[in-house]
């Protein structure tokens, strides 16, 4: 019976989170109660809890995690400076008159916004407020308009540089080192967050290209669902003024990582500084906005690290009850070996994405299943990209997809919830298709990091 305690702990956490309890306190509280009951019953070694302060100190010393508040700061500045709105207005003028022109503009702006914020909720809400009323006024079918916005918002999980990939890269790096140590390999080389950034480029571009291809197909098959709109005179200078600075900033941040000129943390600092200068040059960063930016950055950062601390305590108690051995035994007993274990993890993460946010899955689920899969020979970069795209899909899936709730909160009352649900179905199919393509051809995620490392 004691060996089932780790599974019971995991089930209790999922149940409490569904009732709306705070994530960080749910993780830490469940772990402490389980440890306390185990100590009283004599089935848990209290000495294991002495390792918790060392874990906290390790989090404080982790230089990679410094990139989190810096990337958050970069995204919040670009969002508050209304740079995305300028991009949408000018790109719409470029594509206006073309089939599905407005929808294609939304995908492209959403891609840039995803690269700057990396947070699904922020991107979906921003794009919903900016573009949904205009698309509906132009005559777009509500299901196509809402589906495009929701799907574009989830690109923040895979388009680098993103907070999601930073956290996933750090977690997988720890899992990889743990797997190597278990195999008797000492001083293993950690997985770089930069490897995940580079590995996500091709899958991210494939996803964006697939979205645009689908929109073009719909515009030909159902012209009334995606009308071209009235073509307006194109003004090159406003377009360049709105497009070049943010794209240059993204290229500098990502390029500095790819060339090895900067670590992800240093690149995040460059991005935050560049976003601040860009906003200031446009007169969009006064003292009041700077204060609001600081508060938003502090709130998101505090939330992320509070969850990380709670998850660290949970994983400590989980392993103290033999949870890692339990998961290893389950995976090795599955038919199909590595393929069966990987498929089980992908299905489990997909389902958990209905009730858990990316942060909880990254800090709770990945440390549990990651070391086992990596010890079985799964490539860590490929696994990270697969998890990121998998979570994108679960965020869209009715009825519990987070992206659907975010858009429902800002969509006009005239847009039915059923229209939002119907709109995301084709994009879910596209993401599942890309996931299958990556499963069949893992080199799409691993080739570019290997080339850059040479």
Range with the poorest average pLDDT among 7-11, 113-117, 289-293, 303-307: 113-117
Would you mind telling me the total number of residues written for the chain in this entry? 454
So what's the pLDDT on residue 128? 81
Which pTM value belongs to this model? 0.83
Q: What are the distances in angstroms from CA 54 to CA 24, 27, 39, 84, 152?
A: 19, 18, 21, 42, 40
So what's the pLDDT on residue 385? 92
User: Do residues 331 and 373 lie in contact, with contact meaning Cβ atoms separated by under 8 Å?
Assistant: yes
User: Do residues 353 and 365 lie in contact, with contact meaning Cβ atoms separated by under 8 Å?
Assistant: no
Q: Is the peptide bond before 399 cis (omega within 30 degrees of 0)?
A: yes
Q: What are the distances in angstroms from CA 129 to CA 105, 108, 149, 408?
A: 15, 16, 10, 11
Q: Is the peptide bond before 161 cis (omega within 30 degrees of 0)?
A: yes
- Kindly list the domain boundaries of the chain, sorted by start residue: 2-453
Model pLDDT for residues 86-106, shown as the tens digit of each residue:
777 777 777 666 777 788 888
So what's the pLDDT on residue 97? 65
So what's the pLDDT on residue 427? 93
Backbone phi and psi for residue 128, each to the nearest 5 degrees, phi listed first: -65, -45
Model pLDDT for residues 376-406, shown as the tens digit of each residue:
888 889 999 999 898 888 878 876 677 887 7
pLDDT classification of 272: cutoffs 50, 70, 90: confident
Give first-to-last CA distance, the chain, whole Å: 51
Backbone phi and psi for residue 126, each to the nearest 5 degrees, phi listed first: -60, -50
Q: Is the pLDDT of residue 360 over 70?
A: yes
pLDDT classification of 431: cutoffs 50, 70, 90: very high
pLDDT classification of 162: cutoffs 50, 70, 90: confident
pLDDT classification of 296: cutoffs 50, 70, 90: confident
So what's the pLDDT on residue 436? 92
Average pLDDT score, the chain:
81
């Amino acid at each position: 019976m004691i060996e089932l305690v780790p599974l019971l702990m995991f089930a209790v956490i999922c149940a409490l989170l569904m009732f709306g309890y705070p994530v960080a306190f749910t993780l830490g509280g469940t772990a402490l109660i389980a440890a306390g009951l185990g100590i009283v019953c004599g089935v848990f070694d209290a000495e294991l809890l002495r390792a918790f302060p060392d874990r906290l100190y390790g989090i404080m010393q982790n230089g990679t995690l410094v990139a989190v508040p810096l990337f958050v700061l970069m995204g919040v500045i670009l969002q508050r400076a209304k740079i995305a709105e300028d991009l949408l207005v000018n790109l719409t003028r470029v594509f206006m008159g073309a089939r599905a022109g407005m929808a294609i503009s939304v995908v492209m702006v959403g891609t840039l916004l995803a690269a700057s914020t990396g947070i699904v909720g922020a991107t979906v809400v921003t794009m919903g407020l900016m573009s949904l009323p205009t698309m509906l006024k132009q005559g777009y079918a509500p299901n196509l308009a809402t589906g495009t916005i929701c799907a574009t918002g989830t690109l923040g999980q895979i388009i680098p540089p993103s907070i999601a990939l930073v956290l996933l890269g750090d977690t997988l790096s720890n899992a990889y080192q743990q797997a190597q140590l278990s195999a008797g390999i000492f001083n293993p080389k950690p997985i770089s967050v930069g490897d995940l950034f580079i590995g996500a480029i091709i899958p991210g571009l494939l996803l964006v290209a697939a979205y645009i291809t689908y929109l073009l197909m719909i515009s030909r098959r159902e012209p009334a669902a995606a009308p071209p709109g009235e073509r307006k005179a194109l003004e090159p200078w406003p377009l360049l003024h709105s497009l070049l600075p943010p794209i240059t900033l993204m290229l500098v941040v990502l390029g500095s990582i790819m060339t090895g000129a900067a670590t992800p943390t240093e690149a995040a600092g460059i991005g935050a500084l560049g976003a601040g200068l860009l906003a200031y040059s446009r007169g969009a960063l006064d003292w009041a906005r700077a204060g609001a930016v600081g508060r938003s950055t502090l709130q998101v950062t505090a939330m992320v690290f509070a969850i990380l601390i709670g998850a660290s305590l949970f994983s400590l108690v989980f392993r103290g009850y033999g949870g890692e051995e339990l998961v290893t035994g389950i995976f090795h007993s599955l038919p199909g070996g590595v393929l069966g274990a990987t498929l089980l993890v992908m299905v489990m993460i997909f389902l958990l994405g209905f009730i858990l946010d990316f942060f909880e899955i990254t800090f709770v689920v990945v440390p549990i299943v990651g070391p086992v899969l990596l010890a079985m020979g799964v490539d860590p970069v490929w696994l990270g990209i697969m998890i990121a795209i998998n979570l994108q899909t679960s965020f869209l899936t009715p009825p519990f997809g987070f992206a659907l709730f975010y858009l429902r909160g800002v969509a006009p009352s005239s847009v039915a919830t059923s229209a939002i649900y119907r709109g995301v179905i084709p994009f879910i199919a596209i993401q599942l298709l890309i996931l299958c393509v990556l499963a069949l051809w893992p080199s799409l995620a691993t080739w570019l990091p290997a080339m850059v490392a040479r």
